[in-house]
Amino acid sequence: MRRTIVCGSTETLLIDRTYAHSARLVVALADAGCALRGDEEAMVLDPRMAAATPEDWDTEYLDAICSVAIVDGVEGAMKHIAQHASHHTDAIITDDEAVAADFLTGVDSAIVMWNASTQYADGGEFGLGAEIGISTGRVHARGPVALEGLTTYKWQVIGTGQARP
């Protein structure tokens, strides 16, 4: 709920079906003033949660709104992310190192995090200096983009007839 208007804010919460404290997590969000939109299984966790529309899974709210889905483990989460995420920043909260490793290598996003706030997705935090933008594409820059990421080069070569052997 801190600075929900920034690009690193959480838009969708995916909860493992086996997680024992799902209701506590959802109730805490609702109590903090977060509007929740969920799938059928998530809506059971708190009566204040509205039904999610297909658009909710693909929306960057930039507000105190969060879509919530119940998934089958890290595989279900990665499938949901592949289908709906912006591929900007995705995070996993887990004590299981093997699950975290699967997530970190299996999610194709510019920034993937383990047990860290998505609001660390910032060029300044990464030591890049002032962030000019973010790129989720594979080429040229990926992730937070600072001045160096937007710099191109022009090489000037002056010779006196040299040739490569």
Residue 164: predicted pLDDT: 78
CATH number (domain holding residue 60): 3.40.309.10
- The answer on 138 and 83 residing in a single domain is no
Considering the domain architecture, whether residues 113 and 129 belong to the same structural domain is answered as no
Domain that holds residue 142: 122-151
Per the domain annotation, does 4 fall within a domain? no
pLDDT computed for residue 12 by the predictor:
96
For residue 81, is it within any domain?
yes
Residues 73 and 134 in one domain: no
Domain presence at residue 62: yes
Q: At what angle do helices 73-84 and 97-106 cross, to 10 degrees?
A: 20
Same domain, 56 and 91: yes
Residues 25 and 103 in one domain: yes
| Distance separating alpha carbons of residues 65 and 102, to the nearest angstrom | 28
In a domain, 31, yes or no: yes
Q: How far apart are CA 24 and CA 13, in angstroms?
A: 13
CA dist 8 and 119 (Å) reads: 5
One domain for residues 27 and 105? yes
98 and 40 share a domain? yes
Q: What is the pLDDT along the chain (165 residues), one digit of tens a residue?
A: 887 877 778 899 999 999 999 999 999 999 999 999 999 999 999 999 999 999 999 999 989 999 999 999 999 999 999 999 888 889 999 999 999 999 999 999 988 999 998 888 777 777 777 777 777 777 667 778 887 777 777 677 787 888 778
**Is 64 found in the same domain as 18?**
yes
If asked whether residues 145 and 74 sit together in one domain, one would say: no
In a domain, 5, yes or no: no
**Residues 54 and 115 occupy one common structural domain:** yes
**Could you tell me if 108 and 135 lie in one domain?**
no
Same-domain pairing of 133 and 65:
no
Helix (H, G, I), strand (E, B) or coil at 145: strand
Number of domains in the chain: 2
In this prediction, residue 91 carries a pLDDT of 93
